[in-house]
């Protein structure tokens, strides 16, 4: 059978598929956008409705279907078409594929899914069952990447086990996922729960499963495959990151990725406060993965302003479920000890804010309403421009709302999740130039890149981040920054070094627009091509 050739801006792709196989392949199927000639040569004439619709018209049809649904959860059913929609109106559709809808979708995932997987001992088999050898990360690159979760810490909802699968899709990032059971009793008793009906495995058995996964992924996709860890509990997240970060191309999104966006917002806020990071004092509500990741990246950023890491750490205070983290407090783990300072014990966040008098408070503990009216007014009483970042997800777990801040004080800087701004760019940059091990420097570079894209016009509009509708442009610029950093610091593995970094990154990107089929009539019956004047 003669191959048909599909041309795109990245080159050409050959396929032997014809007929029904074309319509079942999401990378080839254009629905009613196929021309008559394409339908005839590909053997799909008669398998589609007779009309011809451009991709723009198809998008309009999906949009109309979307708008007829009033329930946000119902709107997620149109998600198979949302990749194209997201590029046209990201701010409109992001709340459907990400927070706040994704939290509800995770909790109700048992109603829509019925295929749990037994992973242990079968990771390689599971990966080989996937029909594609070339994975696509976030549909922004054609090179291999993978996201893995054990579902133990989904947003601020806790342990959702296999229901966490829905959140990974909501991150646009899921290619493969590991499904483990949940230790939450209510889920184990739920007859609709799709995970395994036993408590979570721990210890060596758990570690062996992660080892098996890492080995299987790199055996199949190579050592340059980007592996992103997502939504692991604190007890495992730091340990796994430290174990693998210098052995594989990997990072933890909750620790490192979240940090890059939060620090970007803080750097952008400095354009309003007109001072340096070293002039600020930070109090964190929470001392888990997100808080510690943000704190460590802040330390790196302050170190660039000329202080030691020890001096920088003194400007950061943390509050956990037991109160202010101070020296001498019992049962502090290694990660928290770095931020334990000499100070009397203080139990509540309100007391901490009144005593420490921070210039910035950052909420990452998923305690809804933690930033009370008293806290917000106190922040405004001793700061001309207080920085208040309520970063917890889902929305119901946010420490406060923007409206509350603006109502309670005239001068305030607020920031809420724009996390998805950085994901595609970091991944694209890392994969494009073949970074083998991802250092924290890359996330600081990302934070600086995002902050640099915040204009005076954005600040005047009350934005500390570029608009979500510019996410592809932002991602592209981040990727170029990452690539420049990688070659400057000799951590890239793709050589020779491209002279035009922008053109190089552009050549690696994926477009949601349909490819054109350039068809060769060789070998086809002439009478077939004469139908309707073809």
Binding site feature residues for (S)-malate: 153, 393
Burial of 115 (0-12, 13-18, 19+ CB in 10 A): exposed
Side-chain-facing half-sphere of 520: CA atoms under 13 Å: 12
Q: Write the DSSP symbol of residue 200.
A: P
Q: Which residue has the tokens 């069952």?
A: 129
Which is it for the CA torsion 98, 101, 107, 112, positive or negative?
negative
Q: Write the DSSP symbol of residue 225.
A: -
Binding-site annotation, residues for a divalent metal cation? 230-231, 254
Interatomic CA distance for residues 271 and 35, integer angstroms: 52
Give me the helices (H) in 347-420, please. 349-356, 373-381, 402-408
Binding-site annotation, residues? 153, 230-231, 254, 393
What are the DSSP E strand ranges found in 224-359?
226-229, 250-252, 282-285, 316-320, 323-324
The residues with which 318 forms a beta bridge, in sequence order, are 284
The residues with which 4 forms a beta bridge, in sequence order, are 15
345 neighbors 322 (Cβ within 8 angstroms) = no
DSSP-derived 3-state class of residue 512 = coil
Could you give phi then psi for residue 359, rounded to 5 degrees? Answer: -90, -15
DSSP-derived 3-state class of residue 319 = strand
Query: DSSP letters along 148-176, please?
Result: E--SSSBTTTB--GGGGHHHHHHTT--SS
State the pairing for strand pair 11-15/4-8: antiparallel
Interatomic CA distance for residues 140 and 226, integer angstroms: 13
Tokens of 462: 């009350």
């Amino acid at each position: 059978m003669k191959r048909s050739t599909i041309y795109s801006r990245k080159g050409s792709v050959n396929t032997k598929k014809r007929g029904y196989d074309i319509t079942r392949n999401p990378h080839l199927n254009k629905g009613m956008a196929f021309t008559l000639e394409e339908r005839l040569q590909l053997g799909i004439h008669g398998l589609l409705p007779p009309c011809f619709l451009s991709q723009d018209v198809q998008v309009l049809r999906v949009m109309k279907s979307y708008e007829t649904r009033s329930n946000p959860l119902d709107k997620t059913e149109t998600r198979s078409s949302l990749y194209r929609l997201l590029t046209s109106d990201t701010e409109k559709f992001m709340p459907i594929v990400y927070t706040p809808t994704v939290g509800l979708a995770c909790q109700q995932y048992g109603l829509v899914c019925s295929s749990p997987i037994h992973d242990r001992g079968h990771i390689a088999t599971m990966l080989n069952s996937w029909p594609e050898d070339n994975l696509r990360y976030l549909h922004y690159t054609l090179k291999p990447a993978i996201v893995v979760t054990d579902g133990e810490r989904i947003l601020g909802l806790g342990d959702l086990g296999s229901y966490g699968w829905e959140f990974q899709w909501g991150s646009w990032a899921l290619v493969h996922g590991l499904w483990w059971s949940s230790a939450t009793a209510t889920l184990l008793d739920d007859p609709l729960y799709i995970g395994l009906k036993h408590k979570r495995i721990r210890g060596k058995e758990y570690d062996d499963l992660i080892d098996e996964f890492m080995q299987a992924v790199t055996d199949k996709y190579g050592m340059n495959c980007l592996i992103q860890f997502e939504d692991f509990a604190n007890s495992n997240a730091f340990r796994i990151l430290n174990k693998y970060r210098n052995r594989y191309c990997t990072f933890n999104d909750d620790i490192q990725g979240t940090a890059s966006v939060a620090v970007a917002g803080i750097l952008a806020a400095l354009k309003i406060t007109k001072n340096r990071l070293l002039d600020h004092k930070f109090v964190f509500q929470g001392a888990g993965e997100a808080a510690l990741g943000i704190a460590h990246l802040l330390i790196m950023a302050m170190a660039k302003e000329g202080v030691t890491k020890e001096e920088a750490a003194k400007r950061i205070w943390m509050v956990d479920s037991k109160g202010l983290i101070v020296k001498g407090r019992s049962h502090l783990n290694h990660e928290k000890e770095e931020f334990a300072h000499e100070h009397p014990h203080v139990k509540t966040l309100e007391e901490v804010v009144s005593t420490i008098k921070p210039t910035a408070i950052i909420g990452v503990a998923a305690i809804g309403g933690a930033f009370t009216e008293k806290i917000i007014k106190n922040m405004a009483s001793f700061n001309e421009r207080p920085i208040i970042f309520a970063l917890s997800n889902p929305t119901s777990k946010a420490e406060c709302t923007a409206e509350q801040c603006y109502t309670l004080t005239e001068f305030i800087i607020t920031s809420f999740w724009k996390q998805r701004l950085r994901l595609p760019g970091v991944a694209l940059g890392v994969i494009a130039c073949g970074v083998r091990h991802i250092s924290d420097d890359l996330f600081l570079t990302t934070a600086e890149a995002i902050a640099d894209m915040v204009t005076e016009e954005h600040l005047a509009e009350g934005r500390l981040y570029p608009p979500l509708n510019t996410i592809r442009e932002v991602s592209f610029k981040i990727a170029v920054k990452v690539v420049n950093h990688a070659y400057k610091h000799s951590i890239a593995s793709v050589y020779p070094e491209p002279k035009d970094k922008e053109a190089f990154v552009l050549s690696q990107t994926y477009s949601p627009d349909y490819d054109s089929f350039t068809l060769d009539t060789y070998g086809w019956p002439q009478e077939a091509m004469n139908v309707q004047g073809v």
